[in-house]
Amino acid sequence: MNAFPPRTDSSHLVWPPEQFYWSVVEHTAYAGRGVLPPGLVADVADDFPVDVESLHIVTIPDEHGSLIVCAACREMLAALDKDVVSVKPSSAPPALDVDVSQLELMTGSFEPVATRRRRLRGHLTSAATCILCTGLVITGLQRRIDIYSSFAHALSEARAGLFAAADIEPDSLDGLVERANALDELTIEPTVSTDASNHLAALLNAWPPSSDMTVESMSVTDGKILASISLTSDPSGFLSAFTPPSGWQLEEPRLSSTRGLTRLLLQLTKAQP
């Protein structure tokens, strides 16, 4: 390594590889670039002929998973002009196959003030942009909240107006809804249709008079007539006197007797044309 670095008036310096100290750290999990972490300094200390405290050490990873280490004397870097913003090696030693264009010695404690300010301005610009975007999002959300709140208030007032107009207490609404739902579920089937009334009239006209007969129940539909009667006398007289109405036929009657009382179940169906 030369005792003194080459002098140039340029703010970007490129020194030959002989101007630096080189080393390789193999099989390490660290793959960063920039100043070598303090925990890895001990791994390269034996590769340098001078005290590592006098060196400024930077590194870049290579394609094999190793770290290429490049070091320069702090004294030489400190002696550079204030206008210098970059110091890089022109190439790597022949034994190392690596692109050294990403190696930058002017980092860490030697980072130029102008570079630091430029990075700081970039961070501040990004932060200001994030704050502005966040403010715009919050403003938009607040406007939506205000609109929804106004809409909810208008609905509440309209609901209260409807209750007042219908003279209904809001607390009783659930009960009214349940009652309405229960009424909707009810299905009322008529037992007598328009035609069934005519059938009933025809049956009554054909019904034989009898003083010892009691009609217990009668059901008339469009296609069937059921009549339950009780008699204290022999039912054969009633059956012989009963003639089904026109268009109807009498099915086989059902008889049951209990304590001198005979119950007779008549079933009439429409005759087939």
CATH assignment of the domain containing 77: 3.30.420.380
Q: How far apart are CA 191 and CA 196, in angstroms?
A: 9
Q: How far apart are CA 55 and CA 58, in angstroms?
A: 10
Look at residue 199 and tell me whether its pLDDT is greater than 70.
Answer: yes
Instruction: Write the CATH number for 235.
Output: 3.30.1360
Residue 260: pLDDT band with limits 50, 70, 90: confident
To the question of pTM greater than 0.75 for the whole model, the response is no
Among 82-96, 112-126, 140-154, the range with the most confident prediction by mean pLDDT is: 140-154
Task: Give the total number of structural domains in the chain.
Answer: 2
Domain carrying residue 38: 12-114
Which residue, of 91, 114, 137, is where some domain finishes? 114
Domain membership flag for residue 73: yes
Distance CA 226, CA 262 (A): 17
Is there a domain that residue 140 lies in? no
Is residue 44 a contact partner of residue 23, using CB atoms and an 8 Å limit? yes
Residue ending a domain, among 88, 114, 140, is 114
